[in-house]
Amino acid sequence: MALSPASAADCFPLARLKYGGGGDWYTGPSMLPNLAKRLRSDLGMKVCAAERQVEPLSADLYDTPVLFMTGHGKVAFTEEERNALRAWLGRGGLLFADDNYGLAESFRAEMDTLFPRRVLRPLPATHPIFRSHYRFPGGLPKIHQHEGKAATAYGLEIDGPHGKRVAVLFTTESDLGNGWEDPGVHKDAPEAREQALRMGVNVFAWFLEGAKAR
């Protein structure tokens, strides 16, 4: 990877993407700190306790191998930001977007602009991301019901030095991030929160193993 993740003396940053367009990119402040605890306990990762907030044009973009983004509203990038994200993704980064309900339409439009010849495709339940640490034989778990649609994970593949790889992961109709929050925020059942956290662990286990397309 051409990125610069934390050295042995540092911690692996959990980074949240701060984006324009009016969406609440900052929603769920307990999401990443709670996921960090599980990454430390389940994978033995030396993860930073506090989240890092990164903009597409931030100087420390290349210190953050994975960018998480969520929210309910519109996301919009400038052309300069698209160029920066495209270059970062091309160097090995993973953009992990979790639709908090309301993000999907504008996010898909941005991905179409960012990679006009690439498509977000559903990941089958046999994809390695669903067995990288915990097993999810049915694919992405559904944490919140909303309209009752099936939870689906999408991947956007780009060309890498070792072939195609998934550079963008988009989870919809699931609300994984809400399941990572403190128990009293949404009052989710413990079983649902556990499923959400386990899936979050799987994303990082899969990424650290190489995030291969198949």
In the chain, the amino acid numbered 101 is: Y
CATH code given to domain 15-208: 3.40.50.12140
Side by side, which strands form the sheet with 163-172? 52-54, 15-17, 66-71, 94-99, 163-172, 152-160, 121-122
Q: Which of 64, 86, 49 is nearest to 17 (CA)?
A: 64
What pLDDT, in 10s, does the model give residues 36-75? 999 999 999 999 988 999 999 999 999 999 999 999 999 9
Q: How far apart are the first and last CA of the chain?
A: 18
Domain limits of the chain? Answer: 15-208
Is the pLDDT confidence value at 5 over 80? no
What pLDDT, in 10s, does the model give residues 16-38? 999 999 999 999 999 999 999 99
For residue 146, the model assigns a pLDDT of 72
For residue 114, the model assigns a pLDDT of 96
> Would you say 89 and 95 are in contact if contact means Cβ atoms under 8 Å apart?
yes
| Residues of the chain above pLDDT 90, percent | 81
Is the pTM above the cut of 0.85? yes
Is the pLDDT confidence value at 92 over 90? yes
Q: Which of 38, 42, 33, 29 is nearest to 13 (CA)?
A: 33
